[in-house]
Structures are given as structure tokens and as C-alpha cells.
Amino acid sequence: MSSIETRRKFLKVTGVAGVAALAGCSGNGGSGSDTEESESGGSDSSEDMSSESESDSSETTTRLSWHAGGTGGTYYPLSNEVKTIVESNTDFSLNVQSTGASVENVGSLSDGSADFALIQNDIAYFAKNGTGIETFEGNTIDTLQGVATLYPETITIVTLADSGIESLSDLSGATINTGDLGSGTQVNALQILDAVGISEFTEQNAGFSQAAEQLANGDIDASFVVGGWPVGAIEDLANTNDVQIIPIEGDSRTAVKDAASWFADDTIPADTYTGVGSAVETVAVQAMIATQSGVPTETVEAVTAALFDNLGELTIKTDFISAESAQDGMSIELHEGAEAYFNS
């Protein structure tokens, strides 16, 4: 069985149970109900017990689980900046976890092991509407809700400069890393390859950092990466190897956009990566914060307010993330807490 057939079989049989299984059941989710309390010694007198109770109450911190993506992409470092902001401005603590990203994160939100997660807007639409990809066909994730859109997630196809791959058509017959199994990156990669008629290739599945190592070692010919530029794993690769970014342009770009309306034109500026001196035309989806209906309204409003009232503390994607643009490309209904913040 080919790797593509294996992937299709995997996605077909997952269903709703599979979506939840993709989450890996990790984290400290629980819709804002888990608390982390300080413990202290003391006498058994009622006065001391009362004082201890008041101290514990004041020092109680509600723990929230926030699922990000691979450490080599943008989701993970951005999520850790969000963690710092939220913990500095609320009584919540965020447990940020590295994951396989969008599709897996939908599973985490669906089974309640995540309170918040970063996902792509197209994956959010598929999950909410039970369509788009086999994982969600007929399996609507009703509890999925939106918080805010953040920035364009650029589709980057990277190869080494001496690979002989200069266009999408050159990927026919190649060994291609399409991203972690079940990730939004994999979904987008297969959509793009299918849209331009490339069906013969060997598929590998790994996160961005591992894909960079695979390229450097000659184990793969090219890799799809989805994330806001510059992507750390590509930067690291370009600093030690001569790389080339394969464009999605002209008729190929038109075919991709005709096949999937959520793709938009995008450009990777010249010199974003060492040795890539010219701008590269491509397409993008949108990164967004999602949550689930079990998270209390006041929790979502507080986390949303903490982030968007303190955007000046971010260092990543600062040109794109704003309260004014936070509903651009929102593909699913808002959680009441997010709605309360943005409509206040």
C-alpha cells in the first residue's frame, strides 16, 4: 500500500472518535476548572486554619491548556509569548503544549483536553461544518468556537538549491514531506498537489524541524511548511545550506485557488531567508485562536482581553495581529467570551 493510500485510509476511518484520538489526550484541559493551589503548614487552631484558607484562596491559579504546534513553526513560540502576557495580566496560567497542529488541535478541543488552540481557518471551517477532508466528513465538531484570527499562514515549499526542483511540476515523482500526519500542513499540501495534478510522489510525515533535517541529510527532496514567515526551521536550514523556495504562481496559483477558496495570494519577501534574494509568489491560509463551548464565557473574555489589550508585548507577527483585524477570515462562530470582548 502506498503512503498516500495509507494516509487516506487513516483519515477515512478516524471519524469523530479519531478526531478526539488525534489529540493524544494530553494536557491539563477541563474548561478552566483545574486549579493549582499553594500549600502551607500551620497549627490546627481555627484562627490559623481561617488564615490559611484565605491565603490559599488568594493564591489559587486556574490552569488552562493551550495547544500550539511543532517547535520549529510559528505556533509554538507565539503561544509562549501569549502565555507570558496572559499570566502577567490575569489569574490564569497557561500550559502550552507542542502538538501536530491544526487537525490534532481540533481533536484536543473536541475531547476537552485543550481549552484553547491555534488552528488554521480552513481546518476550523471543515471541522465545524463536517466537510472538506475525510476526517470531518459527516462528523461535525459542534463545540468548536472561534476567538480571533491572527496572521496569514504562508504555504512555503522548500528544497535545496541543487535538487533540480524549480517548479511545482518538478515535484512529480519526488519524496515530499507534507507535514505531521493529520496536521493542517498535510491537508494543505495534499490539496495543492492534487489541484496541480501531481499524484505520483512519496509522502513523508514529520514536523518542520525534522523536515529541515531530512532535507539537509538528503532523505527528502522537498517539504511543505505552513506558517507565518520567517519560519524558524527554514531560517536555520538556510543558514547552513543553500535553499530554494518553490513558487506557487501563474496557472498553478489559479488552479489552487479555484480548488480551495480559502487560499489567498501571498508573497514571501526577498531576503526573508538567507540566499533567497528574490520575492517568491505563493498562497496562504489564516492562523486563528480557537476554543470550545465548555470554556466559561468569563474565561475566554479574560484571556482575549489580556492578549489584545497588551499586543505591544508581542514580538512575533506584530505587523499582522490587531484587534481591528481579529475577525478577518473568521470561519466559524465566535465564543460568547470573545464576542463580549470584541463587541464591548
Instruction: With respect to residue 52, please indicate whether it lies within any of the assigned structural domains.
Output: no
Tell which of 285, 300, 316 closes a domain: 285
Q: What is the pLDDT of residue 317?
A: 94
| Residue whose cell numbers read 510559528 | 74
- Burial environment of residue 227 by CB neighbours within 10 A (0 to 12, 13 to 18, 19 or more): buried
**Residue 74 near residue 231 (C-beta atoms within 8 A):** yes
47 close to 200: Cβ distance less than 8 angstroms: no
| Cell numbers describing residue 256 | 489552487
* Residue where one domain finishes, among candidates 269, 285, 301: 285
Q: Are residues 294 and 251 in the same domain?
A: no
- Asked if residue 6 is part of any domain, the answer here is no
Contact 270, 133 (CB under 8 A): no
Q: Is residue 88 part of a domain?
A: yes
The enclosing domain of 77 has a CATH number of 3.40.190.10
Residues 269 and 310 in one domain: no
247 located within any domain: yes
Q: Do 231 and 291 have their domain in common?
A: no
Residues of the chain with confidence (pLDDT) below 70: 1-61
pTM for the model: 0.74
Tally of domains within the chain:
2
Does residue 2 fall inside a structural domain? no
- Name beta bridge partners: 264: 284
Question: Which domain-ending residue is among 249, 267, 285?
Answer: 285
- β-bridge pairing 280-292 and 144-160: antiparallel
Q: Are residues 105 and 230 in the same domain?
A: no
Kindly state whether residues 181 and 132 are assigned to the same domain: no
Residue range of the domain that includes 161: 153-285
pLDDT score, position 61: 64
Residue 292: partners with Cβ closer than 8 Å, 6 or more residues away: 31, 109, 110, 112, 114, 115, 143, 144, 145
pLDDT tens across 229-253, in order?
A: 999 999 999 999 999 999 999 999 9
Question: Which pLDDT does position 44 carry in this prediction?
Answer: 37
Q: Domain check: are 241 and 292 in the same one? A: no
Helices 208-217, 232-240: inter-axial angle, 10-degree rounding:
20
129 and 255 share one domain = no
Whether residue 277 is found in the same domain as residue 187: yes
Query: Phi and psi of 255, rounded to 5°?
Result: -65, -40
Question: Does one domain contain both 261 and 173?
Answer: yes
Are residues 139 and 197 located together in one domain of the fold? no
Write the pLDDT tens digit of every residue in 39-91: 233 333 333 433 333 334 334 569 999 999 989 889 999 999 999 999 999 99
How many degrees, rounded to 5, is the angle at CA 94 between CA 309 and CA 98?
115
Indicate if 79 and 126 belong to the same structural domain: yes
Segment (H or E) for 128:
helix 121-129
Distances from the Cα of 77 to the Cα of 15, 71, 139, 149, 329, angstroms: 31, 7, 31, 17, 23
**Per-residue DSSP letters for 290-303?**
EEETTS-HHHHHHH
Contact between 53 and 38 (Cβ < 8 Å): no
Number of H helices, E strands in the chain: 11, 11
Within this chain, do residues 127 and 164 fall inside the same structural domain, yes or no?
no
